[in-house]
Structure 1
């Protein structure tokens, strides 16, 4: 089940919301846990046992760490957190990377080992990082161990952010697990945020995704440079609106149930450097690797050479985290090289560049990087990049001309929606409606703002539902990560 499915929108979510309103406060965590298990089991009933094992495993580890801490048994405490880390990473590695390693071994040694053909449990990369960060934070003394297994299970399995994040660390919502502030205004704001994310996914990501699907399956001999760049730009928008749309939906659902999840995107395509891009893109993942890998390795505190080694480790792991294919590792190392070049040579000099040049520089490497990310076959990737940079094929053909003309207006909409243009327009409208002249004028403006937001939300929901009923192209890119 996915958020952008009619089953979720028309059956699952309304039923859960109604039951949540009916249930006594003390039973709501149990309801969310039960609903989350149904949500997960809907598509993968077998793998629910893995998620439940991870939940119980780290619940016990957290309790043991706290117990040994009170007993001042530091060695035992450290052994438990190591068991948690090794156990979590072992489960993730087995299900996600076993077949990848077998294929690589067969290619290197000319062996013929059989693949295990293990299906990747949905969301395992996200909930594994969440449970692992919980035990590490208990070990560090940043949070207290959760004593209620139902409450801890609800945190791990919570359906709004289970499948594709954002990665919600336990310390972020520890206070909200047992005591949440819920009211109609917050609920409405959460629903509006959810609808905005749904629209980004269905109206924008799915539609531009069709173009990438069309171009990426074109024979390389029939692809032009203009067409290759259009395809790369299409995927650049698709993955942003797909993933940020999911994050918006997750954050909105969290609000509806009284939780405040961290933001995951901050207009990343407005970045003026690669360093800035990674402060704006998938923020919770970058934060996780900084807090639990980069800083523990020494960060930038032990000299430039050690910092470069630490960055290499972090970006190798970042690439590998995204999927069981070597193109993701290459993508991670691609950003490692760019970030090292920026830190050592460019960042200070770039401040003197014109802003337009800074944006162009960042976007050039971001778009190119998405090609490496999107195409798993190295031969096809190489051919695509050769065409993209004018080293093979024609510069433009009739197909590319038609595609550029057809999608030109839609691309302008995508540019506006991916930047602060829309929010600036909205703020101007809001300032016009809400004036400080008198209290009754301000109240009238707030009421008008609420009505306008509600009308826009209803329209976006109606269009999204209509497109879901009419269409079948509805992938979620980050499901496989």
Structure 2
């Protein structure tokens, strides 16, 4: 079931909303049961045969998490590690089987010229997201950060439909205390108002901007895959159109998830915060799919980086040798994992490698500036911060890096991506090989102006503390145009127009959210 569908907006959401709050007036647990069942129904709408997989994951991780928590409380730390390894390994194997088994066997057959076959294994919806959430829960339990709770609370935490399909990847301490709050399940007009406005903005981004761009980006990439080779104009049009489509598609989804959560009295963490305003690739990743990046850093990068840094000290490594072992190596591994997480294909592997190289170069540049700052400080010279022109150059370089990587992310094959890069790089000449389209030009202009100048959704709604961790990000990436929403006539007209246009554009067709594929 899509957030941007008539059935969801006019049937499922009103029924779930009324049912949850009507039962909440009687008893909080009844509201939790209702919302959990609605969430499971939301998931089963796609393919009912995959619902047992989600239910099995919920039950398994609740049981294992409970054992880890009891073992932790008893001080049996060795047993905690054993149960943690068991639980995480089971989750990873489940994800690996459904998402990567066909890919592995296909490549084994290609290399060994064999005919091993597993049949086509259907990828269950959202398996990457709900698996990572469960892994985070098990690790948090082993660290003493997730406490024992009733199965009802855990089931709602694990299945809550606004964040189930494509994130954000949430932690115990962010959501469960809210579900235990005595006010949860009670209808609070402020939450409904704020959530509905955020939902309207996200719907507008998805249906008006992202889906419009999709209708142009898909034919461009299909044409390339079909043998048409673009020149400079065609290559850059494909790259820019898809980059903006991906941006507004995921931004719209993230807004809608936060808005829906708020309507049901739950503040979800931010997952998107104007990443194309970033002036470095490191900052870009801090603000793109923020909860995935947080998960990867906490549970992959840091566990790799800390022992490697200790090993570098033991070996007496200094300077760039220590940097290579303690920072570059774990960074490279981390971003290759991010690439593979997005999908089973060589384009995703290459996408991960590209961003791994970007991040390593960015880290090396920061290390060089830090060393130079120390050197000049000894001489009594202060290294000034980058000026406006230098920051602009960093920003443009970041956008170029993102655009080239997004071509690899979208292309059907590595070869197709290389062909488009050839056009983008001018290797086929600066020919105008695509016709001018006023609708596409207007949509690109609108999207670009929003990214460059307009406040993002949480900045628009900052008066109402829009997300769980909003205070950590309220001073990051300020907009050139400063406007905050108020429940007055201009504010109501803005929300009404966004909602009306978002719904009206659904009539062209319901485009799936891109991250539903991962």
- TM-score normalised by length of structure 2: 0.84
Match of 2:21 in 1: 21
Is the 8 Å Cα contact of residues 273 and 456 (structure 2) preserved in structure 1?
Answer: no
Mapped pair 1:385 → 2:388: no
Match of 2:264 in 1: 257
SS in 1 for 2:305: coil
Q: 1:355 Cα deviation (Å)?
A: 2.3
Match of 1:48 in 2: 51
Q: Paired residue for 2:95, among 73, 77, 92?
A: 92
Q: Paired residue for 1:451, among 489, 493, 517?
A: 489
Q: Equivalences for 1:430-449 in 2 at 5 Å?
A: 449=487
Q: 1:448 Cα deviation (Å)?
A: 6.6
Is the 8 Å Cα contact of residues 348 and 408 (structure 2) preserved in structure 1?
Answer: yes
Q: Paired residue for 2:146, among 126, 143, 152?
A: 143
Match of 1:288 in 2: 295
Q: 1:10 Cα deviation (Å)?
A: 1.0
Match of 2:405 in 1: 369
Q: Deviations over 1:271-316 (max 9, x none)?
A: 1111111111111111111111111223484442132221122111
Q: Equivalences for 1:132-171 in 2 at 5 Å?
A: 132-146=135-149, 148-171=150-173
Gaps of 5+ in 2: 311-321, 370-384, 464-483
The alignment covers a number of residue pairs equal to: 459
Q: Equivalences for 1:332-343 in 2 at 5 Å?
A: 332-343=352-363
Q: Paired residue for 1:464, among 492, 502, 512?
A: 502
Match of 1:177 in 2: 179
Match of 1:268 in 2: 275
Q: Paired residue for 1:400, among 431, 434, 442?
A: 434
Mapped pair 1:319 → 2:339: yes
Q: 1:346 Cα deviation (Å)?
A: 5.5
Q: Deviations over 1:310-369 (max 9, x none)?
A: 112211111111011121111111111111111113676593562221111110101111
Mapped partners of 1:327, 1:315: distance in 2? 14
Q: 1:401 Cα deviation (Å)?
A: 4.6
Is the 8 Å Cα contact of residues 133 and 169 (structure 2) preserved in structure 1?
Answer: yes
SS in 2 for 1:269: helix
Is the 8 Å Cα contact of residues 126 and 162 (structure 1) preserved in structure 2?
Answer: yes
SS in 2 for 1:22: helix
Mapped pair 1:5 → 2:5: yes
In 2 relative to 1, CA 77–355 (structure 1 residues): closer, same or farther, beyond 3 Å? closer
SS in 2 for 1:292: helix
In 2 relative to 1, CA 423–326 (structure 1 residues): closer, same or farther, beyond 3 Å? closer
Mapped partners of 1:173, 1:468: distance in 2? 31
In 2 relative to 1, CA 211–348 (structure 1 residues): closer, same or farther, beyond 3 Å? farther
Match of 1:201 in 2: 206
Mapped pair 1:351 → 2:364: no
Q: Paired residue for 1:122, among 116, 122, 125?
A: 125
Match of 2:327 in 1: 307
Q: Which moves more between the two structures, 307-316 or 94-103?
A: 307-316
Match of 2:454 in 1: 421
SS in 1 for 2:434: helix
Gaps of 5+ in 1: 431-445
Is the 8 Å Cα contact of residues 158 and 164 (structure 2) preserved in structure 1?
Answer: yes
In 2 relative to 1, CA 29–406 (structure 1 residues): closer, same or farther, beyond 3 Å? closer
Q: 1:377 Cα deviation (Å)?
A: 1.0
- TM-score normalised by length of structure 1: 0.90
SS in 2 for 1:297: helix
Q: Deviations over 1:448-468 (max 9, x none)?
A: 743322222222222222221
Q: Which moves more between the two structures, 213-222 or 32-41?
A: 213-222
In 2 relative to 1, CA 329–448 (structure 1 residues): closer, same or farther, beyond 3 Å? closer
4+ residue runs over 4 A deviation: 346-350, 446-449
Q: 1:423 Cα deviation (Å)?
A: 5.6
Mapped pair 1:229 → 2:236: yes
Mapped partners of 1:423, 1:2: distance in 2? 23
Greater RCO, CA 8 A, separation 6+: 2
In 2 relative to 1, CA 449–188 (structure 1 residues): closer, same or farther, beyond 3 Å? closer
Is the 8 Å Cα contact of residues 130 and 170 (structure 1) preserved in structure 2?
Answer: no
The CA RMSD measured in Å over matched residues stands at 2.2
Q: 1:66 Cα deviation (Å)?
A: 1.9
In 2 relative to 1, CA 423–194 (structure 1 residues): closer, same or farther, beyond 3 Å? closer
Q: 1:215 Cα deviation (Å)?
A: 1.2
Mapped partners of 1:156, 1:312: distance in 2? 31
Mapped partners of 1:243, 1:416: distance in 2? 18
Mapped partners of 2:239, 2:510: distance in 1? 19
Match of 2:374 in 1: none
Q: 1:15 Cα deviation (Å)?
A: 0.5
SS in 2 for 1:200: helix
Q: 1:221 Cα deviation (Å)?
A: 3.8
Q: 1:420 Cα deviation (Å)?
A: 4.3
Is the 8 Å Cα contact of residues 416 and 422 (structure 1) preserved in structure 2?
Answer: no
Q: Deviations over 1:418-468 (max 9, x none)?
A: 2442469x97xx9xxxxxxxxxxxxxxx99743322222222222222221
Is the 8 Å Cα contact of residues 40 and 159 (structure 1) preserved in structure 2?
Answer: yes
